Structure 1
Amino acid sequence: MPKFGYLPFQSPYAIQENKLLLTYQKTKKLFDIGKRLKMGLLVAIIKNYQKVQENYKLRNTSIGN
């Protein structure tokens, strides 16, 4: 794929394609960041839930004894 930035003359079509490509790359980057954040949030929620479960079990066993 040729880099349009290095051409001495850019047709309107080439300029438009360049803008679309940049927009697509930025959007894709944002979506990737969003996916990573969502996965991190899920992991944090699951870990927190597991800790709560462990604490609950510990509390119940200590009361039972």
Structure 2
Amino acid sequence: MATTVARVTQISSRSEVSFEDAVQGGIERATSTLRNVQGAWVKDQKVEVTDGRIVAYQVNLEITFVLDD
């Protein structure tokens, strides 16, 4: 029986559009650098506020990727 080993790494992604856009941007960037990305967990979310208005959305993601044999 084969054993699969994965690693988890944290990244932060920011968008001026939405939380969903920040997540998507983070996933796209992670998959351009890391091989075998299997999933992500949104660990934290926050907004940046200027003059009482939301101007940016930020997410901290934990990205899981399977290590090559």
Q: Shorter-chain-normalised TM-score: which range? A: under 0.3
* Structure with higher RCO (Cα < 8 A, 6+ apart): 2
More strand by share: 2
Structure ID, larger Rg: 1
Which one has the bigger helix percentage?
A: 1
TM-score normalized by the length of structure 2:
0.26
TM-score (norm 1): 0.27
